[in-house]
Amino acid sequence: MKTHNQNKSNQSTPKNPFDQGYYESAELRTFGFKNVGDNVMIAKNSSIIGLSNISLGSNIRIDGNVVIAAYSGSLALGNYIHIGGGCYLGCAGGITLSDFSGLSQGICVYSGTDDYSGKSLTNPTVPRKYSNVKIAPVFLGKHVIVGSGSVILPGVTIGDGSSVGALSLVTKSLDEWGVYFGTPAKRLKARSKNVLRLAEELMLEASSEPTQQPLK
């Protein structure tokens, strides 16, 4: 998979102590992830547990203050994926983000959740036999984008090409190629399929470019 320079931020001088920068593919491959593709960038101030359960395609950027809890379950990211600052991914039931999909900022994706009915104890400090965690996979199709501050609950599939507006709560699966928003998320209208043509154009361009060297 060829790489793209727009995924790189310029180093500012003088050094900004608040900007901890990103780990890149070569270094990430030494950390114990299941797989790391090319041109992967993960902010150094993110918090990621369960590296052997995490598979990363190519052209991925994970920004600052993202928390990924994958000590059980799995996380699979395809190609051309962005996870914006401040997202939380609870991976117990398995989370998949397909090619060209992304989470903007401050989104929580849960593939496991406590029992809120009162029939079981809650939170991870109590022994498993007293709690009743619902575990179910979350799957985001190709070209899905999720708006700021949204929450996605276990068992949800978001069909290819759909978008979810800011501050939405997604409790049930969403069909393909729709624009959705709200609590719970409802379909507003159809979403344009122009992204398919653009992705094809990008893939053609990427296959004809010489492989780019990572920025120093």
- Taking residues 93 to 122 in sequence order and writing x for each that binds ligand COA by CB under 6 A, - otherwise, the string is -----------x------------------
166 binds ligand COA (CB under 6 A): yes
By CB under 6 A, residue 85 contacts ligand COA: no
| Largest CA-CA distance found in the chain, in angstroms, rounded | 59
Options 21, 64, 165, 214; binder of ligand COA; rule CB under 6 A: 165
Cα 1 from Cα 3, distance rounded (Å): 7
Site string for ligand COA, 173-202 (x = CB under 6 A): ------x-xx--------------------
Helix (H, G, I), strand (E, B) or coil at 188: strand
φ/ψ of residue 196, rounded to 5: -65, -45
Q: Which residues of 19-51 are buried (b: 16+ CB within 10 A; e: fewer)?
A: eeebbbbeebeeeebeebbbbbbbbeebebebb
> CB of 102: closest distance to ligand COA in angstroms?
8
Find the part of the chain contacting ligand COA (CB under 6 A) among 17-25, 69-77, 132-140, 161-169. 161-169
Q: What is the dihedral of CA 169, 174, 177, 182, to 10 degrees?
A: -20
Nearer to ligand COA, 79 or 104 (CB): 104
Closest contact distance (angstroms) between CB of 137 and ligand COA is: 24
81-83: strand order across its sheet: 22-24, 40-43, 60-62, 81-83, 102-103, 145-146, 163-164, 178-181, 186-190
Among 137, 147, 155, 161, binds ligand COA (CB under 6 A): 147
Min CB(199)–ligand COA separation in Å: 18
Report helix, strand or coil for 207.
Answer: helix
- Could you identify the residue written with the tokens 């379950």? 73
By CB under 6 A, tell whether 1 contacts ligand COA.
no
Q: Which is nearer to ligand COA, 166 or 199 (CB)?
A: 166
Q: Which residues bind ligand COA (CB under 6 A)?
A: 104, 147-148, 163, 165-167, 179, 181-182
